[in-house]
Every structure is written in C-alpha cells, then in structure tokens.
Amino acid sequence: MAAIGRAARAGVLVKGGQHIENVALADTIFFDKTGTLTEGNPRVDEIVPTEGIAGDELLRHAASVECNSTHPLARAVIQAAHYAKITINAARDLFTEIGLGVRGSVDGNLVEVGSVYLNGGLGGVPVSLQARLQAIKEQGATPLMVYRDKQPIGFLSVSDRVRRGAGKTVADLQKLGLTEIGILSGDHEKSVDLVGRQVGISRLWSGLKPDDKLRVIREKQQGGAKIIYVGDGINDAPALAVADTGIAMGAKGTEVALETADIALMGDDIAKLPFLIALGRRMLFIIKLNIAFGLVFNLVSVVAGASGLITPIMGAVVHNVGSVLVVLSSASIGFFKDDSR
C-alpha cells in the first residue's frame, strides 16, 4: 500500500499491488509510437488530392468520417477542417476496422480513411500519387489515404513530434538494466525508424495490426521475457491486456485502453516509467528485508526468552518493538525519490 500511495502522489495510478511487483520484475518494455512516444498532437501538414478533386472536398470527406473517432490522427483531421472553416456533416453507418482505418457514408458515397491497405495496398493508387506517398513517408510523416466508393481521391500528410524528454526516459530505462526496449507500431517503417532514432530505440516493429502486437508479445513471453507494454489507443488494448504489465496514458488515452491497463500515467508523462520500475524494485527489496529482519529478530527473542535472558513481559515489549521497526521500514518507501521531476 505504501508503494501504491507513493506512485499515486507521483501521478501514477496502480490498480493493485501485484502490478507494481510485475513492473519490478520486468526485463522488457515495448512502446506504442503515436500518442505514447510522440506528443499525441499530430497536425495535417499537406493535403494531396487526385486530379479533379479539390483539397477542401478531400478534407471534408475525411473529417466527416473521422469526426467521432478518438484516434490522435483523427483529431488532426478534425482540427485541420476547423481551421479551414469547412462544415462537417458526420458520416452515417460508421465502422472502424482496427489497425486500418474507418469507413462511413458521406453524401451517399462510401468514404474510407486510413491506411493504404484499407483497399488492398498500392495497386489501386495512381502512379503519380504513389510517388508523393513515398516522399511523405521518407520525411517520417504518416499518410492518411481517402477513398470514395473504393477509388482513391487523395491523402492527408499527418506528422507528430516526439515527446520532450522521451530520449532521456529511454536512456534511464537502459540504465535500469532492461534487456530489451522496443517500439511496436502500426505506422509505416520510415516513420517508426525516425522516432526510434530520435529516442534511442533500435528494436523496431512497424506496420503491425493489434493481433500482430499480440503475437510479438506472446512470442517474447514464451522465451521467458517479463514484459511491460505502454500504449494509449484502442489498437493497444489487446497488447495491454496480454502483457505482464499494461501501462496506459491516462490523460489522452482511450477509455478502452484505460480500462484494460493495469497502471495509468495520469499526466501522460513517460518520464515516470523509470521511477515506477525503481519504486517497484525498492518495494521488493524492503519486503525481503522485512521478512529477513522479522525472522532473525523473532528467533533471537525466542532464544533469549528460552534462556531466561528476558522476562515474558520484556519479550512482549521486544516483539512489539520489532513490529514497529518493520512498519517504519515499510513506510520509508513513501519517501522514495522521484528523479523525473
């Protein structure tokens, strides 16, 4: 309880003592990219329509489908439409295809927004648009394809900045001796590689659907790894559930992610992760210390009592003194230092 209380004062909500123990025993940590290692405030940098389609029309179609989504990329589209003073009419018959995108009916047309793989990959995309897509990816941005009645009408280039201090957090985690730190992302390879270089992570998985993240984590667990997974979105829910410890971003994370996770970072501050792991390890050390102290202290007391060195009343006093010392030792964890401040 002392460790959970200390974590709460640092802005970390731990749903049970077992979870902080699992954090202490972890040797592997995987991050989602968008909204976890990045700020989660993406912006639309460029609107690229196909021939015959106006940029405002492309943006209106995308925003109409995305207006009820909680995904960070959807928020960027809505914000861009707001700045452009475009009237948004919410799409009907909305359906989210996890890991790929969302589709709905706009003005009687089927509109789909998301990955190019929503409609079978690059095969149906005009060659001229493919070149622009590749250029956007090389810059590390994320292209959101927009289809109308299964035909590509353009894409939106969306980018996000790496969280301030993310590189230091990764370095601090490495100092704690974790054997593997990686990124599991549904984004394309160039974007994931760019973020990986910026924060100092070399173990990268890109283009993953939720089931793919699940598969990576289970394969690692079968090899004996104790895994922490940190994410914020609906796509992360399966990974958060199957990891030994799931940690969600509490401020901007989705409701599904928060419900599934074992721990929530209420301020979305990933700098709390090294503190949390160190706190868990300190908790285990104090537990072991208290057990060892209690055994030795009581053994000495029993021997002293049996030898007549102390009276029964003195034995009772000594026993209570030992209990007080154990309580004080446990309470000391409440003063554990948070170096992330």
- What residues are labeled active site? 32
Nearest-angstrom CA–CA distance, 215 and 226 = 15
CB atoms within 10 A of CB 244: 19
**Tokens coding 122:** 């690059």
Nearest of 272, 242, 228 to residue 25 by alpha carbon: 228
C-alpha 195/C-alpha 140 separation (Å) is 8
DSSP 253-298: S-HHHHHH-SEEETT--TTHHHHHHHHHHHHHHHHHHHHHHHHHHH
DSSP assignment of 198-227: HHT--EEE-S--HHHHHHHHHHHHHTT--E
Cβ neighbourhood burial of 246 (10 Å; 0-12, 13-18, 19+): buried
Question: Dihedral of CA 264/18/271/72: which sign?
Answer: negative
List, in order, residues 6 or more apart from 89 with CB less than 8 Å away.
64, 106, 107
Q: For strand 43-49 and strand 151-159, is the pairing parallel, antiparallel, or unpaired?
A: antiparallel
For residues 198 and 192, what is the distance between their CA atoms, to the nearest angstrom?
10
Contact 227, 30 (CB under 8 A): yes
Q: Two tokens at 164?
A: 């301030």
Contacts of 5 (CB under 8 A, 6+ apart): 334
Give the single-character DSSP code of 309.
Answer: S
